[in-house]
């Protein structure tokens, strides 16, 4: 079984933390190509989804960035 992550939400969450794909890959302990696949909307394993979610949950957004980013949605 595989899952597809939101192609809108994942880049937003990266931006909220000031991260690029490589930063998320390091934090989630998955490969950069795996993060690239997730951002592109390709399926990833449930364990990968869990690692990505944990990495994002463990790193709070940059203070004040939501005021700038959320206006673009």
* 3 state SS of 44: strand
Q: Tokens for 39?
A: 């951002």
The CATH number of domain 9-59 is 3.30.70: no
60: left (phi over 0), alpha (psi -120 to 50) or beta: beta
Contact 49, 13 (CB under 8 A): no
Least confident range of 38-42, 56-60, 61-65: 61-65
> For the residues 52-62, what does the mean pLDDT come to?
96
CB 6, CB 16: distance < 8 Å: no
Q: In the chain, what percentage of residues exceed pLDDT 70?
A: 95
Which pLDDT score is estimated for 47? 97
Confidence tier at 67 by pLDDT (50, 70, 90) = confident
Strand partners, 3: 44
pTM of the model: 0.87
Q: Residue ranges per domain, the chain? A: 9-59
């Amino acid at each position: 079984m595989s899952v597809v992550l939101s192609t809108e939400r994942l880049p937003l969450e990266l931006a909220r933390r000031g991260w690029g794909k490589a930063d998320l890959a390091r934090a989630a302990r998955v490969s950069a190509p795996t993060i690239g696949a997730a951002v592109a909307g390709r399926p990833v394993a449930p364990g990968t989804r869990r690692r990505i979610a944990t990495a994002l949950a463990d790193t709070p957004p940059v203070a004040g960035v939501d005021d700038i980013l959320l206006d673009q949605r």
